[in-house]
Structures are given as structure tokens and as C-alpha cells.
Amino acid sequence: MTSTTSVLEGNRLALARLLTQVENDTPEGRAALTELFPHTGKAHLIGVTGGSGTGKSSLVNQLALYYRKSEVSRKRVAIVAVDPSSPFTGGAVLGDRVRMRDLAGDDGVFIRSMASRGSLGGIAQTTAALTQVLDAAGFEIIIIETVGAGQSEVDIARLAHTTLVVEAPGLGDDIQAIKAGILEIADVLVINKADRPGVENTERALRSNLELAHPTKRVARHHGRSVSVPAPETEPGLWLPPIHKTVATEGKGSPELAESIASHAAHLHQSGGWAARDRARLGSELEAVLREALITRFHEHIRHEKYEEIVEKVLSRNLSPWEAVKSLLNGSSK
């Protein structure tokens, strides 16, 4: 009780402690989440995903700096850096250290690294829970940063209202590097390290894959800067992912990128997309919690010996997993 009050009052130490409890899925963490839940729903969740070597972390730093400097609407920013492929490496910690230089000492910024724990559903779920705590704690912008372009990143990106996909020139095979699957979830595309050779190739590959991913849209180029325009046949209110070029290490392109992100938020509010994404996110979170509760309840109600007996039958190939489950479910009518 006290801890959630401290978090709501902006106590950073209490916040850090609570995030650890939530990450470790302790009973205290769960209780706090329930207490904090009514205070959530205010933040703009921004997902940033991209392969290693794209300079994604620098870009996130630049965005955070921009939001902090912005005279008009200085915002409190939290960053959750998720590295699902790294259960215990120091990578995330290293990232934090680099960040410290630019963002240290600013109470309006909170950075949290999360290494993967347990199963995959688990990562997305844990990230969602951390995000809720930060949302309740009053951070208006929450950036969820994920490494890579695998399914896990897609799942985590789906937590966000606005998803940025970051690419960079010269990262191996263009066909492999720029996945149509990841483009499907992109609301804003960023080619970072745009001062490097090969940027035209990256942009071309991105653009043609983007057209593949959004066959009803047409992506065009205006005034030297790349923007998307609706094709004549598309419905009004349809969002077309713009392509931005940035050089994060020099801060180039961040204001324009932040503008696009703000436009996307405005678009979501106008089109009803904001509520739809909230619904999708909370719906899948509810489903995930439900799944966990169901399997936990199942194991609580079945005799361990019976379960092991059935596992043995599967191992000896006398029962297929599907037959085994049928048999387990028939036997466990509570």
C-alpha cells in the first residue's frame, strides 16, 4: 500500500523497487499492479524495434532528449529496454551506461532495462506490466525498445500505440534485413545512420517492401524528404507509415521524427485507433493472465502422479500429446 502511494507520488526509489518486484512476479508486485491499474491509461506508448547495429538506442536517447527539451510541452519520459535474447549478458547494462551520459540527473527521465525471463509470452507480459507501473507513475511518454526483428519483438511492439521500426544502411543482405513482417507493424519507419553509404539502397528496399506490406497504399517521395501520401483510392483517415532518415549520434532528424510520432497519436485519437489499440492490448493481456491462471489451476487440481503417468506414456510413444491432453482433461473435471 505504502509502496504504491510512493510510486504515485513520484518516488524514484520506490518505483525502481516496485519494477523489480513486478519483473520477478512477486505477490507484492501483483498486488501493486492491481492497486495501480486504475491510474493507468494516460501514457503514449511508443515501441521502437530494429536489429542490432541500427543505432536504435541512440535514437531512443535522442527522442527522450527532444521530449525533455521541447519548450511547448516538456514531457516525462520512461524507457523500457527489452533484450529478449539476452538472459544474463551485460548488454543491457552497457546500454544504460551509455545513456547515463546524456540523460543522467534528469528526474523527468526513467530508464529500465529488462533482460528476458522465462517463456516468451512471459516477456511481453512482463513488459506490459512494467509499462503499466510507469504509466501509473505519471510518465507521459513510455518508449519500449526491443532488439531484433523476431516474433517476440513483434509481440512486444504490439503493446505500443505507435511503433517505430529502425533500419540502417549496410546491414548485410537487404532482403534478409528488412522483413515485410516487421514492416506490417510499423507506424513510422526510420533509416538511422543515414549519413552512411548505401542509404539509397536501404530506402529503396524499405519502400518496395512497404508497398508489399501495404498493397492498397502508395508510398511517395516529396521535396527530397520521404513521406507517404495516400493513393487516390485509399480511405480517408488511413495512416501511411512515413520513412524518416536520421543520424542519431548527431541528433539529426529527431524533431521531425517526434513530429511524425505526435501526428500518429493525433491520427489514432481521431480515427478511434487509440481506443482500438488499448482494447487489443488489454484484451490480449487479459487472455495471457487467464491462460496462466488456467494452467496453474489445472496443475493444482490434478494429482502429480497421474500427470507423470501420462507423460511417461507420451515418452514411450504409447499416447500422442493430443490423446494425452484429452485423457488429462477428462480426468480433471475439477
User: CA distances (Å), 256 to each of 84, 123, 216, 225, 282, in order?
Assistant: 30, 31, 26, 10, 30
- Under the binding rule (CB under 8 A), the answer on residue 84 touching a second copy is yes
Query: Scanning residues 141 to 160, which ones bind a second copy (CB under 8 A)?
Result: 147-155
Taking the least distance from each CB to a second copy, the nearer of 93 and 220 is 93
Bridge partners (DSSP) of residue 45 are 142
**Piece of the chain touching a second copy by CB under 8 A; list 13-21, 71-79, 99-107, 280-288:** 280-288
- Under the binding rule (CB under 8 A), the answer on residue 266 touching a second copy is no
Q: Contact with a second copy (CB under 8 A): which of 18, 48, 123, 210?
A: 123
Minimal distance, residue 71 CB to a second copy, in Å: 32
- Under the binding rule (CB under 8 A), the answer on residue 138 touching a second copy is no
Q: Please state, in angstroms and rounded to a whole number, the distance separating the CA atoms of residues 180 and 178.
A: 7
DSSP reduced 3-state for 215: coil
How many helices, marked H, and strands, marked E, lie in the chain?
Answer: 14, 9
DSSP reduced 3-state for 223: coil
Minimal distance, residue 279 CB to a second copy, in Å: 6
Taking the least distance from each CB to a second copy, the nearer of 70 and 89 is 89
User: CA distances (Å), 50 to each of 47, 186, 199, in order?
Assistant: 10, 11, 16
Convert residues 32-71 into a mask of x (bound to a second copy by CB under 8 A) and - (unbound).
-xx--xx-xx----------xx------------------
Beta strands, E only, 25-108 = 44-50, 77-83
Query: Scanning residues 166 to 185, which ones bind a second copy (CB under 8 A)?
Result: 171-173, 175-177, 179-182, 184
- Under the binding rule (CB under 8 A), the answer on residue 250 touching a second copy is no
